[in-house]
Amino acid sequence: MQRLRWCLAVCAAFAAACASGPSPRDQIAAAESAMREAERADAQTYATAEWNNARETLADAKHAAEHDREVQARRLAELAEARAQLASARSREAQARRSLENQQESVDRLEAVPAPVTPPPAPLP
């Protein structure tokens, strides 16, 4: 009996040490906040794949939380947060690239225009 108790105590200590990190609820809230940020960055439009990936991961995290799989829920929520951040970053990157291309286009167009013709000099008296 004593041995069993010792064994359980040791195992519990290890389990506690292994299961580090924030609570699943906090982590899901953080992921949701990152999703809202991605939405503001128009990730649905400019980083559709990353956006969908983040959304699905968040749904998995919530599902795990509902079924009391705490550790799995926390890990999935962490992943969902990172994926939502990736969606934001990729969306901003895509928009910056598009803007640079537009600028390059305008500069090219301007450079293609010939220099303005200067008016002829005034006639001599």
Residues making contact with another protein (CB under 8 A): 1-3, 6-7, 10-11, 14, 17-21, 71, 75, 78-79, 82-83, 85-86, 89-90, 92-93, 96-97, 99-100, 103-104, 107, 110-111, 115-116, 118, 121-125
Give the residue with the Cβ less far from another protein, 43 or 62. 43
Q: Please list the alpha-helical segments (H only) found in 19-125.
A: 24-40, 43-46, 48-66, 70-112
Give the residue with the Cβ less far from another protein, 66 or 115. 115
Give the residue with the Cβ less far from another protein, 4 or 66. 4
Whole-Å CA distances, 37 to 67, 88, 98, 117, 122 = 27, 7, 20, 51, 63
64/45 Cα distance (integer angstroms): 28
Rg (CA), the chain: 29
Residue 107 beta carbon to another protein: minimum distance, rounded to whole angstroms: 5
| Cβ atoms of residues 61 and 29 within 8 Å | no
Residue 106 beta carbon to another protein: minimum distance, rounded to whole angstroms: 8
Give the residue with the Cβ less far from another protein, 66 or 121. 121
Residue 76 beta carbon to another protein: minimum distance, rounded to whole angstroms: 9
58/85 Cα distance (integer angstroms): 12
